[in-house]
Amino acid sequence: MATDDNTLMTAEQRKSAGRQRGLVRMRQLASERLAQRQAIAAQILSELGRAPTTLDKIAANNLAALHVRADQLEAMGKNADAVRQQITQAQRASGFKPEPAATKPQRQSIREMLAARGATSRPIRNRARPQQDSKLLTHL
């Protein structure tokens, strides 16, 4: 009596079919979570800015697993505060230290910017104090 029509199936057959669907769905969810963990771990390791060590890989995988588990709990409507706290502790303990950021290039002075544009440099006059004409000084 194994047929697609649930009304013709016995209770035991319906139960068995339900288990099979459940197992298939569990395997599907497990593979989706594995893909999420791998993607998160790869992103963590790529943002290190250096070659990851074995400990870095282990820590990244643990962080990714905790993150996926917290998301899973929240999707089920459960409280994930404890897992989020574990994530924070794991981040602190992991010792992930990216390479120092590259130093910022020094800002160009106005004179350098004008020179780059091809402008000629002229001496800057102090307008607060007018310059005296040299001819006036010779006549005094």
The pLDDT confidence band at residue 6, using thresholds 50, 70 and 90, is: low
List, for residues 24-68, the tens digit of each pLDDT value.
Answer: 999 998 999 999 999 999 998 888 888 888 988 999 999 999 999
Answering whether pTM is above 0.85, one says: no
Three-state secondary structure along the chain? CCCCCCCCCCHHHHHHHHHHHHHHHHHHHHHHHHHHHHHHHHHHHHCCCCCCCHHHHHHHHHHHHHHHHHHHHHHCCCCCHHHHHHHHHHHHHHCCCCCCCCCCCCCCCHHHHHHHCCCCCCCCCCCCCCCCCHHHHHCC
